[in-house]
């Protein structure tokens, strides 16, 4: 959890970015790019697609920044940024109809030339990515935000405009489906 000093620092930088300071926005990028990249990677399954989408997400964030904090319950910049990433992904998929092929994941598997354990881990990750892609958008968002973005239910619920209870149910169903997709082994 970020401490008060950190929050104050963030708030100052955000305000400067709202006022048009691009360098301040660059600092926000430095702070959040890693997290947003992870999120996008797990939603899109390739480095290249996630990198491209990063640019779109941060450009959209810049455009939407003046509206940040105007809603009474909207004070969490990270959650707000995740929401922008989620919306950008949905827009992208609407227009591109999922150009990101799952074959790319297969390639990740086959190209892996690292030591055995790393290869095994890569393979597991590839299978997980493939399974995540089979879930609907909202379920993907909930699981990736929760377990990769380490967000709590309140943040996730705020992002989606749903109640925490509803998000829990989505998570419950999504974990169950994911288990089915991942197969019966290991248990």
Partner 1 sequence: MNERRKAQLIDECLDAVIEGMYSESDCFMRYPEIQQELLDAFYSFRQFHSAETPQLSTEKMRRIKKNILFNLPDRDMVVTKPSGLRYRWQNTKRRFAMTWVIIVTTILSLLSGAGAVYASNDALPGEFLYPVKTWVEDVQLVLSPDDVDVELSGIFASRRIEELLALIEEGDLEDLDELVDGYHNRTELMTQLIAQIKARNPEEAIRLRLDLETKLQEHALIIETLIDDEPAEDELPLQDRLRVMLQTNMQTRLRINEEEVEVPEESDELNVDDSAEVESSEEEAGGDQEKNQYQNQNQNKVVYSSDEYLENGSLFFQFKFADSLEDDVYGEVDGTLYDCSVDGSMVTCGLTGSAGKGILRLYNLRTHELLYSYDYDHDYEYLWGGTKEGGNENQERGETDHGDRDQEGGMDGKDK
- Residue 74 in tokens: 């909207």
Task: Compare residues 5 and 85 and give the one whose CB is closer to partner 1.
Answer: 85
Which of 140-153 are b and which e, b meaning 16 or more Cβ less than 10 Å from the residue's Cβ? bbbbbbbeebebeb
Q: Are 58 and 172 in contact (CB under 8 A)?
A: no
Task: Compare residues 7 and 175 and give the one whose CB is closer to partner 1.
Answer: 175
Among positions 24-53, residues that touch partner 1 (CB under 8 A) are: 25-26, 29-30, 33-34, 37-38, 41-42, 47, 50-51
Residues touching partner 1, count (CB under 8 A): 67
Among 72, 99, 110, 115, binds partner 1 (CB under 8 A): 72
How far CA 67 is from CA of 36, 126, 142, 158, 175, in Å, comes to 20, 37, 24, 16, 34
Q: Are 160 and 167 in contact (CB under 8 A)?
A: yes
Q: Are 70 and 24 in contact (CB under 8 A)?
A: no
Task: Compare residues 18 and 104 and give the one whose CB is closer to partner 1.
Answer: 18
Residues that bind partner 1 (CB under 8 A): 15, 18-20, 22, 25-26, 29-30, 33-34, 37-38, 41-42, 47, 50-51, 54-55, 58-59, 62-64, 66-67, 70-72, 91, 94-95, 118, 121-122, 124-125, 127-129, 131, 136-138, 143, 147-148, 153, 161-163, 165-166, 168-173, 175-176, 178-179, 182, 186-187
């Amino acid at each position: 959890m970020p401490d008060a000093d950190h929050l104050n620092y963030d708030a100052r930088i955000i305000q400067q970015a709202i006022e048009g300071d691009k360098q301040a926005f660059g600092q926000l990028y430095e702070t959040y790019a890693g997290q947003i990249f992870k999120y996008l990677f797990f939603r899109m399954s390739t480095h290249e697609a996630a990198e491209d989408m990063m640019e779109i997400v941060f450009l959209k964030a810049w455009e939407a920044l003046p509206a940040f904090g105007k809603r009474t319950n909207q004070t969490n910049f990270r959650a707000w940024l995740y929401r922008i990433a989620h919306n950008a992904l949905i827009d992208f998929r609407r227009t591109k109809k999922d150009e990101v092929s799952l074959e790319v994941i297969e390639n990740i598997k086959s190209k892996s030339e690292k030591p055995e354990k790393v290869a095994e881990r890569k393979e597991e990750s590839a299978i997980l990515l493939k399974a995540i892609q089979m879930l609907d958008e909202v379920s993907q968002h909930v699981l990736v935000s929760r377990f990769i973005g380490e967000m709590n239910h309140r943040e996730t619920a705020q992002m989606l405009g749903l109640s925490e209870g509803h998000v829990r149910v989505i998570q419950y169903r999504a974990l169950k489906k994911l288990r089915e997709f991942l197969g019966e082994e290991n248990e």
